[in-house]
């Protein structure tokens, strides 16, 4: 079982290669005060592909709230490039997460079931909202592709948190 990150603690800043060149820093946004990090399983996952497609029309809504959105996986650069092209994605894509990085974020890690699925261990879905102080404000992780936050309502729920200075919850470890 992974060691979950503690809410209200500093998010571990993690450098990930960026599909369109350079690197992205998870936990240290470039353009906005907040950062929303979507961890997806990889190009092999049809649920992830649909989730990223459903995320696309919500990117401006998040940007208007001052939230930088990124999506990351263990995929290779070639797979990240293909995913972007296949789905016409504009969300910044990070690639090449290694197992140590996944574990540092408290993610569940799976081995491929076959070479046709993928060729390396990969992270199961995760969602992290990092506040301007660099602290983990909200987190959702899953051990399987079937459980994820509902994208249709996610922007309005996060907007409520921001508009109402809603405190970080779940600060006592289980």
Q: Does residue 6 sit within a domain?
A: no
Q: How many domains does the chain have?
A: 1
CATH number where 61 lies:
3.40.30.10
pLDDT, tens digit, 9 for 90 and up, residues 85-112: 999 999 999 999 999 999 999 999 999 9
Q: Can you tell me the distance from the alpha carbon of 146 to that of 31, in angstroms, rounded to the nearest whole number?
A: 31
Reported pTM: 0.96
Q: Does residue 173 sit within a domain?
A: no
Q: Does residue 7 sit within a domain?
A: no
Q: Does residue 55 sit within a domain?
A: yes
pLDDT at 127: 98
Comparing 45-49, 150-154, 168-172, the range with the smallest average pLDDT is 168-172
Tell me which H or E stretch contains 127: strand 126-130
Predicted confidence (pLDDT) at residue 115 exceeds the cutoff of 80: yes
Host domain of residue 111: 31-163
93 close to 77: Cβ distance less than 8 angstroms:
no
Q: Does residue 54 sit within a domain?
A: yes
77 close to 96: Cβ distance less than 8 angstroms:
yes
């Amino acid at each position: 079982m992974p060691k979950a990150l503690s809410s209200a603690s500093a998010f571990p800043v993690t450098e990930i290669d960026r599909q369109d060149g350079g690197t992205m820093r998870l936990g240290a946004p470039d353009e906005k005060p907040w950062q929303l990090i979507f961890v997806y399983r990889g190009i092999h996952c049809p649920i992830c592909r649909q989730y990223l497609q459903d995320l696309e029309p919500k990117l401006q809504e998040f940007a208007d709230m001052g939230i930088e959105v990124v999506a990351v996986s263990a995929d290779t650069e070639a797979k990240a490039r293909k995913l972007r092209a296949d789905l016409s994605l504009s969300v910044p894509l990070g690639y090449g997460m290694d197992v140590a990085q996944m574990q540092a974020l408290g993610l569940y890690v799976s081995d491929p079931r076959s070479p046709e699925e993928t060729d390396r261990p990969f992270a199961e879905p995760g969602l992290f909202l990092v506040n301007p102080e660099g602290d983990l404000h909200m987190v959702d992780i899953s051990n399987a592709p079937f459980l994820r936050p509902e994208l249709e309502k996610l922007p309005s729920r996060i907007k409520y948190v921001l508009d109402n200075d809603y405190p970080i919850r779940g600060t006592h470890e289980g």
